[in-house]
Chains A and B, each alone.
Chain A
Amino acid sequence: MSDGPFAELSGVTRTYGGVAVLEDVSLAVRPGVTAVIGPNGSGKSTLLGVLAGAVDPTDGRVRYVGPAVDRAIGYLPQRVPFREEFTARETLAFYARLAGDDPDESLERVGLSDAADRRVGALSGGMRRLLGIAQATVGDPPLVVLDEPASGLDPGMCERAFRTAADASGADTAVVVSSHDLDLVDEHADRVVVLDRGRVVAAGPRDRLCSDRGVDDVAGLYRAVVAGDAVGADEGVREERSAVHVTGVSER
């Protein structure tokens, strides 16, 4: 697996109405699955929007540095936005035509071939998310950004959405996914970014972050870093706060 970064954020800040939603975030996104976790309102969606180019930072810089292709970044926003009057196939056909891809292959990849002729408005929430993931991977972009692909779904559909996202990652693809489902993050993520109040409070390979804090899994890491109830967590968080702003996932 190539370990060079596909995207770099340096000193990114985003404010709305003068309130900082994202503050001085520096990260490098590498191939594999990177999970962004944090409490509600911690800036996850804004961070993913900045990465996808959907949100302009008020300060700092974001750069795509991956392979030069026609479609560099795939993006699924938190709210799946497709027009309800189109069928699943028509929706993907529009995007596939722009990217020179096959819509039926994309539908098959997420297991929606049987629902190809159903209107988006008639799809279940889970199916819409899968359609969104299929859209985000149309044209095989090297960087795929998925904002809570498993949000509001039943456990089975959550697992399916996450597995589909994880399957899209690999040596040539970086998948960045935000989620509140820490068990699924634990199962699928190679790297973890923990956000709290707009700042990165921990970032790096999942196994290393867990072992550094003496916890068994991502849920334990979250409690240690955000809630601060693990042994020695307060000290660790303080160290990480100062370090991550400079180093981020890339450990630069």
Chain B
Amino acid sequence: MRDRILAVDTVFRRELATVLRTPGYGVLAVGLLALLGGVVAVGGGAATGFVPAVVDLLPVTEVVVPLVAFVVGYRALLVDADSGELAVIRTYPVGVVGYVAGVMLARSLAFLAVVVVPYAMVGGFVWATAAPDTGIFATHSGVDSPLLYLRFLGLLVPFGAAYLSLATVVSAVASSRRGAVALAVLALVGGVLGGDLAVLRSLATGTSPSAIPGLLALTPNGAFRGLVFEEVVGVAFAPQGGFVDVGRAIGSLLGWTVVGIAVSTVTLAYGDRLEVLLEGVRARLAE
């Protein structure tokens, strides 16, 4: 057990050192801060309170958080596989699970730094500039509160983790940087728009509107949006709730994360064997 932890820690440290030496992530964080600051300034939410600021930020968040997750993760497992270093690493006592865990932990930390810090700074800006009511700590209806903004920040974590996990799948499946970019764009567009379009289509084909809270919870964006309405915006202005099935939404975000990690690990562990199987099938067909 100790050896496994040491292996994960060693891979984690190396990945974190790589991330820290990538200036692009710093630029990404600054760009995100500028974007979020601009959105809040234009929307006027910062002058009004935390919940209005969340309402301003929500549509942008549904696009930029998945985008940042893909930027941070789309090459996470591809870098070593593409350079050939993964074949070298696998001659050491570190298993595929330990390797993926180390890389994912470091990339998750990088993602949190790039995303949460700008959002926290925007929160600080709202605190400094909004009306006096924002200083009241409360979770009850009708009262704006920094606690609600903290909830919003907290919800960013599982939402981002789900997309980071999907980005890691892209990095495990792709065989080149160009392929990874193409797959990442497809997955990003599919994730951000695909879920909502599928729900709309299901309504057109006769699905009952009462099923929407349950259906929305199945996609990462629908689950995140529903949770924000349920646990942040709705607490202050619409306490009756009913935007989304909360349990299913949380389960959905966790599920996407776990499935993504599992698929990445299996792909890395058995991808070569699949190729060998296909070669075998090809050989039999040629006979």
Closest CB in chain A relative to B75 CB, distance in Å = 12
- For A57, what are the chain B residues with a Cβ–Cβ distance below 8 Å? 276
Contacting pair A90 B92 (CB below 8 A): no
List, in ascending order, chain A residues with CB within 8 A of B93's CB.
Answer: 70-71, 98-99
Select which of B14, B84, B87, B275 is within 8 A of A94 by beta carbon: B14
Contact with A along B89-109 (1 / 0, CB 8 A): 111111000000000000000
Query: Assuming A58-B276, A58-B283, is B21 touching A77 (CB within 8 A)?
Result: no
Which of A18, A75, A77, A90 is close to B279, meaning CB atoms less than 8 Å apart? Answer: A18
Determine if B17 and A86 form an interchain contact, defined as CB atoms under 8 angstroms apart: yes
Q: How many Å lie between the Cα of A76 and that of B18 in the bound state? A: 22
Q: Give the residues from 205 to 229 in chain A that come closer than 8 angstroms, CB to CB, to chain B.
A: none
The answer to whether B283 touches A141, judged by C-beta atoms less than 8 angstroms apart, is: no
In the complex formed, the residue of A with least CB distance to B22 is A85
A18-B282, A18-B286 known; A97-B91 Cβ under 8 A = no
> Separation in Å of the A162 CB from the closest CB of chain B?
20
Measured CB to CB, the closest approach of chain B to A115, in angstroms, equals 19
Tell me the bound Cα distance from A81 to B87 in angstroms: 10
Interface class of chain B by DSSP: helix
Query: Given A57-B276, A81-B83, are A99 and B92 also a contact pair (CB < 8 Å)?
Result: yes
Q: Does A83 count as interface, using CB distance less than 8 angstroms?
A: yes
Residues of B within 8 A of A70 (CB): 93
A-facing residues in B259-284 (Cβ within 8 Å): 272-273, 275-276, 279-280, 282-283
Chain B's closest residue to A80 (CB) is B84
B18 touches A85 (CB 8 A): yes
Q: Which of A16, A75, A79, A98 is close to B94, meaning CB atoms less than 8 Å apart?
A: A98
Most A CB contacts (10 A, CB to CB) among B84, B87, B280 go to B84
CB distance from B270 to the nearest CB of A (A): 10
Contact (A16, B279) CB under 8 Å given A77-B84, A83-B85, A98-B10: yes
Set of chain B residues within 8 Å of A71, measured between Cβ atoms: 91-93
Contact of B87 among A16, A75, A82, A95 (CB under 8 A): A75
Task: Say if the beta carbon of A52 comes within 8 Å of chain B.
Answer: yes
Q: Is the CB of B85 within 8 A of A53?
A: no
Q: Are B21 and A85 in contact (CB under 8 A)?
A: yes
Q: Which residues of B contact A58 (CB under 8 A)?
A: 276, 279-280, 283
Q: Output the least CB separation between A150 and chain B (Å).
A: 18
B29 at the interface (CB under 8 A from A): no
Cα of A16 to Cα of B21 in the assembled complex, Å: 37
Contact B272 A56 (CB under 8 A): yes
CA distance A83 to B21 in the complex (A): 11
Question: Which residues in window 1-55 of A have CB below 8 A to B?
Answer: 15-18, 49, 52-55
**B84, A79: Cβ atoms under 8 Å?**
yes
Q: How far does the Cβ of B264 sit from chain A's closest Cβ, in whole Å?
A: 19
Which A residues are CB-close (under 8 A) to B88? 75-77, 81, 95, 135
Residues of B within 8 A of A75 (CB): 87-88, 91
**CB contact list, A96-137 vs B, under 8 A:** 97-99, 135
Among B13, B21, B91, the residue within 8 A (CB) of A52 is: B91
Nearest-CB distance from B106 to chain A (Å)? Answer: 13
- Is the CB of B7 closer than 8 A to any CB of chain A? yes
Q: How far, in whole Å, are A54 and B85 apart by their CA atoms in the complex?
A: 10
Judge if A73 is at the interface, Cβ distance under 8 Å. Answer: yes
**Is B6 at the interface (CB under 8 A from chain A)?**
yes
Whether A52 pairs with B276 at a CB distance below 8 angstroms is: no
- Best-surrounded residue of A49, A76, A79, A83 (most CB of chain B within 10 A): A83
Extra A-B contacts (4), CB below 8 Å, given A71-B93, A76-B88: A49-B87, A57-B276, A72-B91, A83-B79
The 6 closest A-B pairs by CB, nearest first: A54-B87, A81-B85, A81-B84, A81-B83, A98-B92, A77-B84
A residues sitting closer than 8 Å to B (CB atoms) are 15-18, 49, 52-59, 70-77, 79, 81-83, 85-86, 90, 94-95, 97-99, 135, 139, 141
Residues of chain B having any CB pair with chain A under 8 Å = 6-7, 10, 13-14, 17-18, 21, 79-80, 83-85, 87-94, 272-273, 275-276, 279-280, 282-283, 286
Ordered by A's residue number, 10 sampled pairs between the chains whose C-beta atoms are within 8 Å are A18-B279, A52-B87, A75-B88, A75-B91, A77-B87, A83-B79, A94-B14, A98-B6, A98-B7, A141-B91
